[in-house]
Chains A and B, each alone.
Chain A
Amino acid sequence: MGVGIEVKDLNAWYGSNHTLQDINLNIQPNEATALIGPSGCGKSTFVRCLNRMHETNPIAKVTGSVRIGDLDIYNDASPVEVRRRIGMVFQRPNPFPTMSIYDNVASGLRLNGFRNRRVLDEVVERSLKHAALWDEVKDELKKKSGASLSGGQQQRLCIARALAVDPEVLLMDEPASALDPVSTAKIEDLIFQLKSQYTIIIVTHNMQQAARVAERTGFFLNGKLVEFDSTHKIFTNPRDKRTEDYITGRFG
């Protein structure tokens, strides 16, 4: 089951660049939340703060608190533990090129020392089915490299890989921006189905996509969260003038 996320006074820096300023928001469990905004507005940095990937950059810094369920991720857990509970799908599909499809999906469990073959088989099948990829790859699971799939298939493979470690939250950083419209539609269908089991946060440049998949939407601008509300409200009747300007295409 998904869990809620509570963000309080979150600030983030790259070197002296203050990329996130005083972010406060609550994300509901088992919903898809979309984050929109122009390039460089901080939305990617924000999701990377939610699984402590931001700090993998040596010049990065974070303050504030993030609670995921009942876990204070910056005080009660190590980055490694946090990332096991919060899956991430990146902008460009990044399957491990030397691994088969099967090994890619199993990698999260295996690299953390899990070896039971029967359970791994089950997890791989279930995750690939969840990611709507099973039927396309089931005959060549162990023979074909993950890198030999098409871009859209690779991205669904990456989703399966993230699901295999059974996270509570799934972060998606522009997961469809490198894909064609057909693959994009498949990913969006997938987000729709995955909501029942996971809390999903999706960063997107595509406002129609946000409108299609998300219950709630946040608008970021220059490192600040300008507005956060139900998707319907944001796209029909935003409170803030800047949100309105952005969604009507006056800038960005």
Chain B
Amino acid sequence: MSSRYKTGKATQIWRSATNHMATGLAVLSTVLVVAPLIAIFVYLIYKGASSLNLAFFIKTPRAVGEPGGGMANAIVGSALLLGIGSLIGVPIGIASGVFLAEFGRGGKLANAVRFTADVLNGVPSIVMGIAIYSLIVLPQKHFSALAGGVALGIMMIPTITRTTEEMLLMVPHSIREAALGLGVPNWRSVLSITLKTASPGIITGCMLAFARVAGETAPLLFTAFGNQFWSANLNEPIAALPLQIYVYAISPYDEWHRLAWAGSLVLIVLIVLSVSLVRFVTTRGVLKGAN
């Protein structure tokens, strides 16, 4: 027998050393992943927190040189755009994910849909903006919140579709059989059993898609366009936090630079808050011992 099977002193030291090394590497990787996030957050607070005040949240932008003013219209605008985007992206994304996993499995149409979703996922966001510009803005002859929301919504679809599909496929076959064996029609079983079992993962997918498009600037440049004034009209150009940050950040004015930092901080905080809120609401009813 080789010495590998004996546990002499040297072997024990060697094992303990490799164990510590592996643990150390895992910790190091974790730090490397989390560090940039924390660094960004700390830097944003350092640069932006001082410009945050009540006016930032309740006032619209002022002209250059005038002190004060805020981004209230951009905050509301972003909320509206993301609302429209989610209304489009979430139902279509989940429905096509359900089709891929449950009804079209292995079929030609399913393969085409899957391929399209993957390509759509790879389309640069600026191209999405131009596409919506020519599809909605040009025929309407004006920029609009609606066009911006549609652009964001379409960008959400592929992520949601693919995560929904993956999550549904992870639901054990035995669970589907249990439902069918009870005399539950297939459509009902998919809606009430399979989708429900997969819902934590599907919600994560939706949140990822949401967080990703919440910070998008490029697809809004040609669609929502931005607006220095109050507007909640879906048929008019509308302000959005990323757009406002972009305009302020490339301006030559120090006051605007400070506001851009504050806007970035608010954007990140709002994204974290909304994602946590959704997670809190959707996990409240979870039972002891489930999953």
Q: Which residues of A contact B (CB under 8 A)?
A: 51, 53, 56, 80-85, 87-88, 90, 92, 94-100, 107-108, 111-112, 140, 143-145, 147-148, 158, 161-162, 165
Contacts and interface: CB of A to CB of B under 8 A. Distances in A.
B177 A145 contact: no
A162 B182 contact: yes
B178 A148 contact: no
A83 B177 contact: no
Interface string B156-200: 000000000000000010110111111111001100110011010
Interface stretch (B113-121, B269-277, B282-290): B282-290
B174 A94 contact: yes
Interface residues of B, number: 25
Given A95-B178, A108-B184, 16 more contacts: A53-B181, A83-B180, A84-B182, A84-B183, A85-B183, A87-B182, A94-B175, A98-B197, A107-B179, A108-B182, A108-B183, A111-B179, A111-B184, A145-B288, A145-B289, A147-B290
B291 interface: yes
Contacts of B178: 90, 94-96, 158, 161
A145 B287 contact: yes
Given A90-B174, A98-B196, A83 B181 contact: yes
Contacts of B177: 53, 56, 90, 94
Contacts of A140: 288
A95 B290 CA distance: 11
Contacts of B181: 51, 53, 83, 87-88, 90, 162
Contacts of B291: 97-98, 145, 147
Contact of A161 (B182, B288, B290): B182
A56 B186 CA distance: 10
